[in-house]
A and B are shown apart, each in its own frame.
Chain A
């Protein structure tokens, strides 16, 4: 969890300084698609606050957007739709556009399709990276069979 927090912190800093793409959002989408726990909401809330502060946007705005996205993904996971890499890509496209629309409404700016395209291009590599990470390096709690 600590490593995850550091990675999210780094993506937030990179977003506000060097890279014009919301890596936090993309990472959140891929992580939530693969890992089902409450920590996704906390990550969305705190790092949404951090990104809002670093980007000089109204505090709470990005938190709200990220929490909404995490909630939607969690609900879709509970449905019969399986979240394989193709579905994650499509879902990511929809959610990044939704995120852009929210930014337009609040910032009175126009949709940056280049940002949407760039973010969706890195979804797949990140998805597989998080997948490998979650399966190979994250220690799962041992479970006992009730006999």
Chain B
């Protein structure tokens, strides 16, 4: 009982003292002693804090290793996604630039142009547009003011373009240079060059002349660039002159082409 009373008395005394200290601290009477004591305790606290963190950092790899594998996989996936997005954005930028350049070359007021992306290249150039997009056989495919070919086959979702290099391709053209002008028929030959045939001897043609479409047949407009004359073959015993024509464009380099809709 005595112990009980003593302990209760002690608890009351200490509680009162604590509350008194609290009151005096709120009045600011302990500012100076606290400031003086901090000269001693702050370095100890700082030392303990730095030591603790240094010790923990030695073992941090234990915790981080667990997540490193998952983080690695996530980062790899993120990288793959970013590369794909980058590639996509570059392609779209190229297409947009192509569309702008096309508008500057062939006025959209005169020509109704449909952009199409090449998705295959063999004997024919395959486009990812078809009859559902309004394409028809015989429509002309261009890039800026360069003639590429003519649509040969159309399916609902794709179409095949017969290129100038195709042996079945026959286009009426004319060449123009400094004081030279000649008309002929351009036919394709498997390879990188084209043959301009049926050029009259009375007409002048020379190397470097630019070859354009005549525009006298089908849907082909006049004045589309075909290429440049690389070589003239003229023999007196033959009825006509011939010229080798190098195409203006390299088809595999194109990301986008345009179809002149009827």
- Residues of A with Cβ closer than 8 Å to B? 13-14, 16-18, 38, 41-42, 44-45, 48-49, 53-54, 58-61, 63-64, 67-68, 70-71, 74, 78
Separation of A71 and B25 alpha carbons in the complex (Å) = 24
Q: A38-B10, A41-B11 are in contact. Are A14 and B48 (CB under 8 A)?
A: yes
Q: A13-B44, A13-B45, A18-B48 are in contact. Are A60 and B18 (CB under 8 A)?
A: yes
- Residues of B with Cβ closer than 8 Å to A? 4, 6-7, 10-11, 14-15, 17-26, 30, 34, 37, 41, 44-45, 48-49, 52-53
> Cβ of B30 and Cβ of A59 under 8 Å apart?
yes
> Cβ of B18 and Cβ of A48 under 8 Å apart?
yes
Separation of A61 and B26 alpha carbons in the complex (Å) = 11
* Chain B residues closer than 8 Å to A14, beta-carbon distance: 48
Separation of A9 and B25 alpha carbons in the complex (Å) = 22
Separation of A18 and B46 alpha carbons in the complex (Å) = 10
* Chain B residues closer than 8 Å to A70, beta-carbon distance: 11
> Cβ of B21 and Cβ of A59 under 8 Å apart?
yes
> Cβ of A18 and Cβ of B14 under 8 Å apart?
no
Closest to B48 in A: A17
Interface of B, secondary structure class, is helix
* Chain A residues closer than 8 Å to B15, beta-carbon distance: 64, 67-68, 71
Q: A16-B45, A59-B21, A60-B19 are in contact. Are A45 and B14 (CB under 8 A)?
A: yes
Separation of A45 and B52 alpha carbons in the complex (Å) = 27
Separation of A48 and B105 alpha carbons in the complex (Å) = 86
> Cβ of B34 and Cβ of A13 under 8 Å apart?
no
> Cβ of B22 and Cβ of A61 under 8 Å apart?
yes
> Cβ of B18 and Cβ of A58 under 8 Å apart?
no
Q: A38-B6, A64-B18, A67-B15 are in contact. List 13 more A-B contacts (CB 8 A).
A: A17-B45, A38-B7, A42-B14, A44-B14, A45-B14, A49-B18, A58-B22, A58-B25, A58-B26, A60-B20, A60-B23, A61-B18, A61-B22
> Cβ of B37 and Cβ of A53 under 8 Å apart?
yes
* Chain B residues closer than 8 Å to A63, beta-carbon distance: 14, 18, 21
Among B22, B25, B49, which residue has its beta carbon within 8 angstroms of that of A18? Answer: B49
Separation of A68 and B16 alpha carbons in the complex (Å) = 11
Closest to B8 in A: A71
> Cβ of A59 and Cβ of B45 under 8 Å apart?
no
The 8 A-B residue pairs with the shortest CB-CB distance, nearest first, are A60-B22, A60-B21, A63-B18, A59-B25, A18-B52, A64-B18, A17-B49, A60-B18
* Chain B residues closer than 8 Å to A74, beta-carbon distance: 7, 11
* Chain B residues closer than 8 Å to A61, beta-carbon distance: 18, 22
> Cβ of A54 and Cβ of B18 under 8 Å apart?
no
* Chain A residues closer than 8 Å to B7, beta-carbon distance: 38, 41, 74
Separation of A51 and B168 alpha carbons in the complex (Å) = 96
Separation of A22 and B121 alpha carbons in the complex (Å) = 74
Separation of A74 and B17 alpha carbons in the complex (Å) = 20
Closest to A66 in B: B18
